[in-house]
A and B are shown apart, each in its own frame.
Chain A
Amino acid sequence: MTVQELPGAAAYRPTPPPAWKPITDPAPLLPDPEPYRVLGTDAVADMDPELLLRLHAELVRGRRYNTQATALTKQGRLAVYPSSTGQEACEIAAALVLEERDWLFPSYRDTLAAVARGLDPVEALTLLRGDRHTGYDPREHRIAPLCTPLATQLPHAVGLAHAARLKGDDVVALAMVGDGGTSEGDFHEALNFAAVWKAPVVFLVQNNGFAISVPLAKQTAAPSLAHKAVGYGMPGRLVDGNDAAAVHQVLSEAVARARRGGGPTLIEAVTYRMDAHTNADDATRYRVDSEVETWRAHDPVQLLERELTGRGLLDDEGIEQAKEAAERMAAALRDRMNADPELTPMDLFTHVYAEQTSQLREQAAALRAELDAEQDHEHSAEAGR
């Protein structure tokens, strides 16, 4: 006998609360079951060949930037470099979908996106070289400082986009985060605020398989990271992160949607970090070569190159030209990074407050005296030689 069959059961049935009902059809928010792809499908035909060629040239340059910056760590010119080799399609697409007035909120691994957006390659590296925290004016380039704490830049993107909308400005913020970052509280709070405020924000999760050493399966039990969008009431999109054309298309749609007042989108780009977390990490301890090899066969640069040559849009000469341009960029970067940066120790006290406190003035004077004494010592040592 079930509860319903008990005599008088109907009389005890609770009345449902009158005011609130869940939205029972989340289907429009759900991501596709498979990551969206353009390369190798008929959808390529709809894409502007000029854009595809531009993506290719930028991917080649981006790959070279990654290998050059990694080499600079080995020469001791960079304190650290979190390479985005393998993830260039996400980095480049993120930079190219934005208008000049839009804002990019990169994480520490997204140097390449900042450079592709037009930032001076050396300015983009000052944080990682260790001479300054941010080597550029964020307002000038509309690129927030590279963010080292995980996901904490996401609420900034929401606040900025919200403020822009309040001011009546047609501005979209694109915030980048890794798969590990999606576990952070700030990720949740940012998505929730963005959805409630209908802020013009696009969240791009680069799921590169590992948070340093921890694989995605130990990071989340969600069906996909894109599925998380449903809980906030925003659409989730799943895209092949190595397919530059697909990432560009999905991001473009989300940016357009945000721009016309449709609110935020969460995009999970499925990709792979080919290098270790940084040069200080040993990736052989947590992943096997066969996995890396599988992803090597799905290389973003090769994918696009094959498509473009197959369609007769790119020939060997074009590929060679792209490589030469990348080599010129790398040589210039190398030369400039091999010059010692000029450091001014007194700057330590300059930008803590708008006006120095008396405490900082005292400390600045003490350091000034130390520096002067050091210099005197050097002079007298030279004189005595």
Chain B
Amino acid sequence: MTTAATKAGSRTAKAKPATMAQALGRALRDSMAEDPTVHVLGEDVGTLGGVFRITDGLAKEFGDDRCTDTPLAEAGILGAAVGMAMYGLRPVVEMQFDAFAYPAFEQLMSHVAKMRNRTGGAMPLPITVRVPYGGGIGGVEHHSDSSEAYYMATPGLHVVTPATVDDAYGLLRASIASDDPVVFLEPKRLYWSKADWSPEAPAAVEPIGRAVVRRTGRSATLITYGPSLPVCMEAAEAAVAEGWDLEVVDLRSLVPFDDETVAASVRRTGRAVVVHESPGFGGPGGEIAARITERCFHHLEAPVLRVAGFDIPYPPPMLERHHLPGVDRVLDAVARLQWEADS
């Protein structure tokens, strides 16, 4: 699946616009068709096809035993998935919304993340936990949290988040195939983002743990992931008018973290801004800024800056546009990168 030929195949004449939601559904379907041990379970994933319709058609194609509507209980769903994985299945769990996953935290922290370690490698848990996350869709409270920092702070979990249609497919396939548990964060406001995509020859399966440079530039690096990637790409385009040539790095995987790609980019540009919508304090940006400082101190022309959501509980939908970091805030940060010192 990872060959160049497959990758090239995804750009045939048959390519047509597809959404990230469709690519995720297709990844689930292909994984289930290839591997009979892959089971999907969660609230409303069966008959309804999930509240975002990601699992649409799976129960019909594979039966209720492979795509199961569970009782409404996140700890129970993930706990049952642990037992299923212990018996050799590959459960894919859907947590309906970011903040609904919190009741399952004990299972995730105490068991999912630790079982391989607890058992000296004897019992890996190949579980994928799909969590739709982030704001910008006008959801009322508990429907828009960015919870990635909690998962990142828990050794034993992989934390992955796609920002493109291709990556949604490729990373989800890789997550399901992984022998380790993966928290697969789905940027729900990108569910309906489109790309030319051929369902007949989907994009290559993307190995977990590699960041990618989405836009090359010389002036500064924007480091981001998931829902903030389109914001950063737009900011980079707008920055051209200001005379800045920005590089944009899409992390794709928060754990493992691709220090190499990030450090190489910052050493080239000498300046970095980390952009994400989860709260800044104790958030991913602080960790990323520290890693960059440790590795690139002598290459830096300015302190690493963070553009993040405010340190507040996610606001009501009518105020969320003030909370979410947009293009202007990213450009403001770029403007603060001590350009005068450089000239």
Contact = CB atoms under 8 A, between A and B. Distances in A.
A357 interface: yes
A162 B83 contact: yes
Contact of B119 (A133, A158, A357): A133
Contacts of A157: 83
A359 B259 contact: yes
Interface of A is mostly: helix
B122 A133 contact: no
B117 interface: yes
Residue from B91, B111, B156, B257 whose CB has the most chain A CB atoms within 10 Å: B111
B97 to A, nearest CB: 18
B121 A353 contact: no
Given A193-B71, A352-B155, A167 B87 contact: yes
A162 B68 CA distance: 12
A186 B65 contact: no
Residue from A152, A156, A173, A350 whose CB has the most chain B CB atoms within 10 Å: A156
A93 interface: no
Interface stretch (B7-15, B74-82, B231-239): B74-82
Contacts of A366: none
Interface in A77-101: none
Interface string A132-173: 111001111000110001001011111111111011000001
A354 B156 CA distance: 10
A163 B106 contact: no
Nearest to B87: A163
B338 interface: no
Contact of B80 (A140, A185, A193): A193
A358 B208 CA distance: 13
A163 B65 CA distance: 10
A192 to B, nearest CB: 5
B32 interface: no
A234 to B, nearest CB: 14
A189 interface: yes
Interface string B173-205: 000001110000000000000000000000000
B89 interface: yes
A142 to B, nearest CB: 10
Interface in B75-111: 75-76, 78-89, 91, 103, 106-107, 110-111
A190 interface: yes
A43 interface: no
A298 to B, nearest CB: 35
Contacts of B71: 189, 192-193, 196
A351 interface: yes
Given A134-B119, A353-B156, A354-B180, A156 B124 contact: no
Contact of B123 (A138, A158, A354): A138
A324 to B, nearest CB: 35
A134 B118 contact: yes
B217 interface: no
Interface in B43-90: 65, 70-71, 73, 75-76, 78-89
B76 to A, nearest CB: 3
Interface in A37-59: none
B120 A159 contact: no
A196 B77 CA distance: 13
Contact of B79 (A140, A155, A353, A358): A155
Given A155-B107, A163-B84, A359-B257, A354 B119 contact: no
A215 B126 CA distance: 40
B260 interface: yes
Contact of A160 (B75, B83, B180): B83
B303 interface: no
A156 B120 contact: no
Given A133-B118, A192-B73, A193-B80, A163 B88 contact: yes
Contacts of B260: 358
Interface residues of A, number: 41
A168 to B, nearest CB: 11
B83 A163 contact: yes
A192 B83 contact: no
Contacts of A144: 86
A133 B115 CA distance: 10
A152 B88 CA distance: 19
Contacts of B256: 353, 357-359
B286 interface: no
Residue from B70, B83, B86, B124 whose CB has the most chain A CB atoms within 10 Å: B83
A155 B117 contact: no
Contact of B73 (A156, A164, A189, A357): A189
B119 A145 contact: yes
B76 A358 contact: no
Nearest to B110: A149
B179 to A, nearest CB: 4
A134 B116 CA distance: 10
B180 A155 contact: no
B117 A352 contact: yes
A160 B119 contact: no
A354 B124 contact: yes
Given A149-B106, A159-B84, A351-B120, A154 B257 contact: no
Contacts of B209: 357
A189 B76 CA distance: 5
Interface in B207-260: 209, 255-257, 259-260
Interface of A: 132-134, 137-140, 144-145, 149, 152, 154-164, 166-167, 173, 185-186, 189-190, 192-193, 196, 347, 350-354, 357-359
25 contacts: A133-B114, A133-B118, A134-B118, A134-B122, A138-B86, A138-B123, A145-B118, A149-B106, A152-B110, A156-B83, A156-B111, A159-B83, A159-B84, A159-B86, A160-B83, A160-B84, A160-B86, A163-B88, A166-B89, A167-B88, A190-B76, A193-B73, A351-B117, A352-B116, A353-B116
Given A352-B117, A352-B155, A354-B116, 4 more contacts: A137-B122, A152-B79, A159-B81, A162-B80
